[in-house]
Structure 1
Amino acid sequence: MTAINERATAIRWIQDQIADYGLTLEELEAAGCFDPPPPPAPAPPPAVCYRNAEGLTWDGQGEMPSWLKRAVNAGQSVEFYRAG
């Protein structure tokens, strides 16, 4: 079934339900059927994967921050800063 046929079938079903239950446009509007959907919930902040003693953090995504690069270049293991 194509998207156009599915849409037409859905419209016919809605029309049948409206007729079967004697619904009016005003009743559907009052019930909020045409209200816009609520905005999506904000995304949670990224989990902290690495943290130093000063409280600087990195979630492990994107380029490594300068504080961690300096530590690694000085011979420290990245795993030393793993949070958790």
Structure 2
Amino acid sequence: MTAAMATTAIDNERAEAIRWIQDQMADYGLTIEELAAAGCFDPPPPPPPPPAPVCYRNAEGLTWDGQGELPDWLGRAVNAGQSVEFYLVG
């Protein structure tokens, strides 16, 4: 498929989507103002932040990113005499 053909296909899909939206608005008696009031044109929310990298992992696959309090599984291991560094990833 050439670039021109791809552009034409995208333009056709876009035109079809616009016609569908216009049909739906006509069928339900919707106006642009009503759609705007319903938040249809609000920008999307920002994506969630990426998960923190895993810094510690045990044999069961439980993980901790090193932020905040020690998780229960790591606290129990430390209380039993194991070092935190034993679970360090990498």
2:32 counterpart (25, 37, 40) = 25
**What TM-score do the two structures reach when normalised by structure 1?**
0.57
Report the counterpart of residue 83 of structure 1 in structure 2: 88
Cα deviation 1:15-57 (Å, max 9, x = unaligned) = 000011000111101110000000000001111158xxxxxx8
The percent of aligned pairs where both chains have the same amino acid is 62
1:2 counterpart (4, 9, 23) = 9
Cα deviation 1:49-83 (Å, max 9, x = unaligned) = 58xxxxxx8xxxxxxxxxxxxxxxxxxxxxx8553
In structure 1, the gaps of 5 or more residues are 51-56, 58-79
Q: Say which structure is richer in helix.
A: 2
Aligned length: 56
In structure 2, the gaps of 5 or more residues are 1-7, 58-65, 67-84
User: Structure 1 segments of 4 or more deviating over 3 A?
Assistant: none
Tell me the C-alpha RMSD between the 2 structures.
Answer: 2.5
